[in-house]
Structure 1
Amino acid sequence: MKRPLTQFAAVIVLGLFVVGGGAIWASQRAGHREALNEARSLTEQSARSLILPNLNQAVLDGDADALDVLDSAIRDHLLGDRVLRVKLWLADGTVVYSDADELIGERYKVAPDRLAAVERAVTVADLGDLDGRESRFDIALGPLLEVYLPIEGPNGERMLFEAYFDANSVNRSASRIRSTVVPITLVSLFLMGALTLAMARRLSKRMDRVRAERESLQARAIDASAYERRRIAADLHDGVIQDLAGTAMLLSSAESATNGNPVLNARLAATSDALRHSLTSLRGLAIEIHPPNLAAMDFTLALEGLLEQTRVRYGVETTLEQHSEISIDDTDHKRLVYRFVLEGLRNVAKHAKASSVKLAVRGDIDDRVLVT
């Protein structure tokens, strides 16, 4: 079980890498999404608390005092490390307010994304391309995240509040979220993998013990069966077979004492033949029950003995063809081949109605034994 356990451990480690990588990727996306949500939320809060309370008709008319009040509120409470630029637009593209004073009062073509935000009344956040003339003062600020928020002017005018966030601060916020989520995820995955591997190892050991016990029981059963076969074969050989052999000898002696009575001689001869046939069958049965000691005898002689038993018992002509390169050193392998040949010869003699049998035993380049 060591190799399957190693493979399982490799799968666990690979799974940890895959899931961990997926967790890092997902946490990065989640962190970025959360950072965008924070930017949207801050923009909406700023609109409610800073822009709308200070947005009046005087601001729309370009009154300097009104613009100063709005500018002071924005610079004191909004502009800083995160929010680097603020613009307030009318729907026709006129810049009502910007912390870049040069843009106030100018009119530009409204970009499609800004128009979409105004028309759908939704907050939009994306990385700004800064390629328009209205963004000429923004390029020096570096990569920016633009958040557009539709608002209503003092007289119900459709307007757009635009806040520019430092994109690096958004990335830092996403990284902060990722650094919080990823370690927890990876530690959880590692603990789960370690627990799974420990359970698999424990189960593997238990399976090894069960397999060892099963093999031990199987070996005991085989030994007990072999012992019983040896005992039965010995009882046949030392009991019934010896008695029949003695009886056959007595019948042979009785034939010479019949004073030439042809009828009695014929009966004795028939009885003697039947007895010898039964004796041969019993010897073959004893061999089937318990094969000879294959470790101590030549395997070719053992096969020839099987063929001879088949010839005598079933009246089938037999031939052995064995190639010189065949070599079986292991006793268990010899016993397996012997049993295979024995069963094959018995099936051929009983069921195939064959008049002759040719047994060929050969080896191949993979040290396999072929029996035909």
Structure 2
Amino acid sequence: MSTQPRGVRAKGWRAPNDAVRRALRWYLVCNLVALTGVVTGVVLLSWVVARNEALRDAEVTARAVAETIVVPLADDDFHARDPAALARMGEVMENRSRDGSLGDIKVWADAGGGRATVLWADQRPLVGQTVKLGVEEYAVFGSQATVSRISDGENEGSQPERSGHQHIEVYTGTRDASGAPVLFEVSIPTPGLSEEARSLIRIILPLPIAAVLVLSLATLPLAVSLAHRVDRGQRQMRALLVNAVESSDLERRRIARDLHDGVIQDLAGVGYSLDSDTRQLPEGGVLRAHLTQTGDIIRRDLATLRTLMTDIYPPDLASRGLAATVRELAIQRDLPAGLVRFEIDEPLNPHPLVDRLTYRAVREALENAVRHAGATSILVRIAQDDAGVNFEVLDDGVGFDTTLPSPEGHLGMRLISEMMTNAGGTMSIVSSIGGGTRVKGELPTNHLSLSST
């Protein structure tokens, strides 16, 4: 008899919309990641643009001050540190920087070997000092180049009122009135850099955000439709699997019934007739010996057919339960005591299809361990949690190389593995030559349900 109600049909499979919800969650997550990436990119881009603009403006300002103030006033008297020449430079620079747009001003002369001497500075104690400049700054000497960088104001020599505030340090190379190379250094505060970046963000950001949102909304119906199609495809595949398993069980019952009612009955009848005819022949005759041998062959074949019929006929999992049916495997095959150990968590309440696939996988793995592996110890584990059923069959047999094609007797495991995959589960076989074999499988139950129709 079938272990499944007759009213059950493939269309009774119902996979709740977990797949759809999961797909939509991933869709929303991906859109959120894309939106976050766009926002981050716009913020970084705005900051880079604002920073580059601030550096460019600072370089233009420094170049203008160097050309209009430093070049005309840096004459021979200035190089000789004439008080009047220094005073003229200080007066003009003070007027120019009175609005706070310039600070930490220095005019350097090349001292050779990467060193420079301060000809004039808005901080008087620095005048006359000779220090080693950075490679990039020193390279500006004798050229019309300009280098700049944003600093936090903690550099040595910064004015106290500017320390700790972000500003741009600009180094501009030029030649003074006498043609000597000089280096003009100035610090330009950047109080508007952050505000400029924020302004750019306010201008640029709405467009890509709107584009991402519009694209998300436009593709949402397509995503929902695709998710439903995938869900329908999965349900149809599992429905086909249910039909395949049920059809297989029905075919097994038919074959077992045909064996029992046909070949087995006929061979049993022949065996009885041979026994009867054999007893009527004289002892020691050649014919009697021949008939006795023929009868023995028939009896062995009958025993084999009855065993085959038992193996073919699907077990009554619905009434016996998975745990009890699996334990009976050792009894049916008349295995030695202690060869197989069972660790089964009870009670087990899986799905009918999960019952069948788990039983088939365990039976096949146990059969391979006994028939092909030459195992002396076999452990069968079955457990169930909220997600589904998981099982394990471990043996200490000869093992095999899993990288090679399936050895004789293991094709059934591959077929069962494919069925488990179609049911949403997994199965793996780990083995090595001389290291035994471990068959492990998992079958979910939380997304499967059957309904009567």
TM-score, with structure 1 as normaliser: 0.58
Partners of 1:301 and 1:132 lie apart in 2 by 88
Shift of 1:250: 3.6
Question: Gapped runs of 5+ residues in structure 2?
Answer: 1-18, 110-116, 396-453
2:433 paired residue number: none
Does residue 282 of structure 1 match 2:305? yes
For residues 230-255 of structure 1, the C-alpha deviation after alignment (integer angstroms, 9 at most, x for no partner) is: 22222111112222233334445546
Does residue 187 of structure 1 match 2:205? no
The aligned runs of 1:91-240 (5 Å cut-off) are 91=109, 108-109=127-128, 112=131, 116=138, 119-121=141-143, 122-125=145-148, 145=168, 147-159=170-182, 165-177=188-200, 183=205, 187=209, 207-240=230-263
Partners of 1:322 and 1:108 lie apart in 2 by 93
Partners of 1:95 and 1:360 lie apart in 2 by 90
Partners of 2:209 and 2:228 lie apart in 1 by 27
Paired residue secondary structure (1:83): coil
Shift of 1:85: 6.5
Paired residue secondary structure (1:109): coil
Does residue 83 of structure 1 match 2:126? no
For residues 112-148 of structure 1, the C-alpha deviation after alignment (integer angstroms, 9 at most, x for no partner) is: 4699487354435465679869x79x879x9865544
Partners of 2:103 and 2:369 lie apart in 1 by 98
User: Residue 246 of structure 2 aligns to which amino acid in structure 1?
Assistant: D
Partners of 2:23 and 2:246 lie apart in 1 by 31
Shift of 1:284: 1.8
RMSD: 6.2
- Kindly indicate whether the alpha-carbon contact (under 8 Å) linking 1:35 and 1:173 is maintained by their aligned counterparts in 2: no
1:42 paired residue number: 61
Higher relative contact order (CA 8 A, sep 6+): 2
Compare the two structures and name the one with the higher helix fraction.
1
Partners of 1:18 and 1:365 lie apart in 2 by 42
Structure 1 17/129 Cα, relative in aligned 2: closer, same or farther at 3 Å? same
- Kindly indicate whether the alpha-carbon contact (under 8 Å) linking 1:56 and 1:153 is maintained by their aligned counterparts in 2: yes
Structure 1 242/26 Cα, relative in aligned 2: closer, same or farther at 3 Å? same
Partners of 1:124 and 1:362 lie apart in 2 by 73
Partners of 2:378 and 2:156 lie apart in 1 by 93
Question: Gapped runs of 5+ residues in structure 1?
Answer: none
Q: Identity of counterpart residues, as a percentage?
A: 25
Could you say which structure has the larger radius of gyration? 1
For residues 252-280 of structure 1, the C-alpha deviation after alignment (integer angstroms, 9 at most, x for no partner) is: 55467x3x733466555544443333322
Structure 1 242/79 Cα, relative in aligned 2: closer, same or farther at 3 Å? same
User: Residue 241 of structure 2 aligns to which amino acid in structure 1?
Assistant: Q
Partners of 2:265 and 2:168 lie apart in 1 by 108
Shift of 1:63: 9.8
Shift of 1:281: 2.1
Shift of 1:83: 3.2
User: Residue 232 of structure 1 aligns to which amino acid in structure 2?
Assistant: I
For residues 87-121 of structure 1, the C-alpha deviation after alignment (integer angstroms, 9 at most, x for no partner) is: 7958475669x9x9xx9xx9932574699487354
2:417 paired residue number: none
- Kindly indicate whether the alpha-carbon contact (under 8 Å) linking 1:144 and 1:167 is maintained by their aligned counterparts in 2: yes
Does residue 243 of structure 1 match 2:243? no
Shift of 1:290: 2.1
Does residue 31 of structure 1 match 2:31? no
Aligned residues: 344
For residues 17-71 of structure 1, the C-alpha deviation after alignment (integer angstroms, 9 at most, x for no partner) is: 58855764575355334312211023324555x558976979979999xx8xx96
Partners of 2:130 and 2:73 lie apart in 1 by 23
Partners of 1:174 and 1:343 lie apart in 2 by 67
- Kindly indicate whether the alpha-carbon contact (under 8 Å) linking 2:71 and 2:174 is maintained by their aligned counterparts in 1: no
Shift of 1:348: 4.6
Shift of 1:343: 7.5
- Kindly indicate whether the alpha-carbon contact (under 8 Å) linking 1:328 and 1:334 is maintained by their aligned counterparts in 2: no
User: Residue 225 of structure 1 aligns to which amino acid in structure 2?
Assistant: S
Does residue 261 of structure 1 match 2:282? yes
For residues 273-313 of structure 1, the C-alpha deviation after alignment (integer angstroms, 9 at most, x for no partner) is: 433333222222222222453545698799779756x57xx
Partners of 1:188 and 1:54 lie apart in 2 by 55
Partners of 2:177 and 2:263 lie apart in 1 by 125
Structure 1 233/272 Cα, relative in aligned 2: closer, same or farther at 3 Å? same
